[in-house]
């Protein structure tokens, strides 16, 4: 399995080096996705605190420290 992972990582590195990030294109994609979400009524959220309990619980789990 390690060999396959190494091949994938090598492939990803070569793709990144051959295709540098295009800032303007990425912004255009982001804006198009945002407008689509707005047209579907997903954004902005009707209740900005909807689901906050899950976020807080997840943050506590991620940031938990083991006591020594």
Give domain limits for the chain. 2-62
In angstroms, rounded to a whole number, what is the distance separating the alpha carbons of residues 5 and 11? Answer: 10
Predicted pLDDT at 1: 59
Asked whether the whole model's pTM tops 0.75, one would answer no
The residue behind tokens 């399995």 is 1
In angstroms, rounded to a whole number, what is the distance separating the alpha carbons of residues 33 and 36? Answer: 5
Q: What is the pLDDT of residues 5-63, one digit of tens each?
A: 999 999 999 998 898 889 999 999 999 999 999 999 888 888 888 889 999 999 999 99
In angstroms, rounded to a whole number, what is the distance separating the alpha carbons of residues 7 and 56? Answer: 38
Predicted pLDDT at 33: 96
Compute the Cα dihedral for 7, 13, 14, 16 and give only its sign. Answer: positive
Residues in CB range of 58: below 8 A, 6 or more apart: none
């Amino acid at each position: 399995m390690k060999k396959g992972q190494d091949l994938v990582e090598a492939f990803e590195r070569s793709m990144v080096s051959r295709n540098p990030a295009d800032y303007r294109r990425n912004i255009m994609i982001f804006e198009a996705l945002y407008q689509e979400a707005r047209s579907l009524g997903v954004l902005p959220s009707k209740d900005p605190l909807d689901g906050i309990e899950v976020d807080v619980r997840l943050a506590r789990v991620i940031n938990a420290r083991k006591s020594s």
